[in-house]
Amino acid sequence: MRGSTVYKAVGVSVGLLCIVQVALNVLFRFQAVGCSDGFHNVSTGNTTIMSDSDIRVLILERDQLAQEKEKLVQEKEKLVQERDQVVQERDQLAQERDQLAQERDQLAQEKEKLAQEKVKLAQEKEKLAQEKVKLVQEKEKLVREKVKLVQEKEKLVREKNQLTMEKNELRAMNNRLSEEKKILENKITAQQHPTITINVGQNAPYCPPGWQLHMSSCYQRSSSTSNWDCASQDCARKESHLVILNDEDEERFVHTFGGAVKMWMGLRRYRDSTNAWVQGSSLNYQNWNDVQVNPKHWRNYPETCAFTDQDSSSSKTWFWGSCLEQYYWVCEMELRRRYR
């Protein structure tokens, strides 16, 4: 709107300038032919003679109009620049509009895609919820089965322990019967040779009832478990000591009637790392297993004690352990002699 008004003003100014220019041309022409004297208040035909003051006014108006024209031209150029800038901004806004339209369409597509994914995720969520319920039910079922299996396992362990004890008792009974058989055979032999029997019977070695004979010692295995100190005290009350294994044959005999259980031996390790049998004898025979208690952990124990485990998978059956563990034990004493 502003540009149109300026254009109209410029047109009017140009028209006025043209009129003034024509008037000046006529004036100069009259002056050239010597008619300058008749210009003062004289009118001939249709031509009006202009005075000097009128000419000066026209010249001033012309100059003023020229200045206004120049000013209007400058404003026109400025408006043209502003128009070009507005056109550029319009084109840029049009591009941005087109870009925003593309982004809008892209966002609409992404929105539709996300809506589809949302529906799909909702379906998967429902499916997972159903699977969760099913898994919870299966877990509860497995827990019940586990409890049942644990109970059955405990029952089997008790039965195993009971059978092991019965087996050991039967083995001990068998050994006692074998020893009694030997004693009976010796008595029969003594009856057949009375002279020898009298000489031998006066100072014959023997084992107390319930003890097993081997070489020159008697052995007895406990019927319950306890720690090393209690086991040692029990043997002392019976005028014996915890078993000392001097060779492989003696160890095999102890395992034969003692059974496949952990049993304390009369061997103890003190904090200064010295090993000693309860009777003070030297440690000549050894049968240590490669899998020992980690020495770094021994600092947690005041002392460590040795036990034998026939149930281990290796032929090396000696182990170190805490003296507070609960194991069976075997007492050993020398043969007793009868004096008459």
Query: Could you report the per-residue pLDDT of 232-244, keeping only the tens digit for each?
Result: 999 999 999 999 9
Of 16-20, 112-116, 186-190, 280-284, the poorest mean pLDDT is in: 186-190
Domain edge (last residue) among 72, 103, 134:
103
Read off the pLDDT band of 95 (50, 70, 90). Answer: very high
Domain assignment present for residue 109? The answer is no
Tokens of 305: 């004690």
State residue 305 phi and psi, 5-degree precision. Answer: -125, 155
Domain harbouring 219, CATH code: 3.10.100.10
What is the model's pLDDT at position 31? 60
Residue carrying the six token digits 């000046």: 24
Domain assignment present for residue 200? The answer is no
Domain assignment present for residue 153? The answer is no
User: 257 or 328: which carries more pLDDT confidence?
Assistant: 328
Angle, helices 52-192/194-201, rounded to nearest 10 degrees: 130
Domain identity same for 324 and 211: yes
Number of domains the chain contains: 2
What is the model's pLDDT at position 268? 86
**C-alpha radius of gyration, the chain, whole number:** 65
Has residue 247 got a pLDDT over 80?
A: yes
- Cα separation, 50 vs 35, in Å, equals 12
Per residue in 119-140, pLDDT (tens digit) is 999 999 999 999 999 999 999 9
Read off the pLDDT band of 302 (50, 70, 90). Answer: low
Domain edge (last residue) among 76, 103, 130:
103
Read off the pLDDT band of 116 (50, 70, 90). Answer: very high
Domain assignment present for residue 29? The answer is yes
Domain assignment present for residue 181? The answer is no
User: 336 or 72: which carries more pLDDT confidence?
Assistant: 72
Per residue in 141-192, pLDDT (tens digit) is 999 999 999 989 988 988 887 787 777 677 767 766 766 776 676 667 656 5
Domain identity same for 329 and 213: yes
Read off the pLDDT band of 263 (50, 70, 90). Answer: very high
The boundaries of the domain holding residue 210 are 205-337
Q: pTM for this one?
A: 0.42
What is the model's pLDDT at position 38? 46
Domain identity same for 332 and 222: yes
User: Which residues are CB-contacts of 79 (< 8 A; sequence separation ≥ 6)?
Assistant: 2, 3, 6
Domain edge (last residue) among 59, 78, 103:
103
**Average pLDDT of the chain to the nearest whole number:** 81
Tokens of 120: 């799909």
User: 246 or 311: which carries more pLDDT confidence?
Assistant: 246
Tokens of 336: 């007793």
Read off the pLDDT band of 3 (50, 70, 90). Answer: low
Domain assignment present for residue 56? The answer is yes
Cα–Cα separations (whole angstroms), residue 183 to 176, 191, 215, 242, 258 = 10, 12, 15, 26, 22
Domain assignment present for residue 182? The answer is no
Domain identity same for 97 and 210: no
Has residue 283 got a pLDDT over 70?
A: yes
User: 218 or 275: which carries more pLDDT confidence?
Assistant: 218
Cβ atoms < 10 Å from Cβ of 241: 16
What is the model's pLDDT at position 191? 62
Domain identity same for 215 and 332: yes
Judge whether 271 and 280 are in contact, CB under 8 Å: no
User: Which residues are CB-contacts of 241 (< 8 A; sequence separation ≥ 6)?
Assistant: 232, 235, 266, 278, 279, 331, 332, 333
Which whole number is the average pLDDT over 10-39? Answer: 67
Which whole number is the average pLDDT over 54-59? Answer: 88
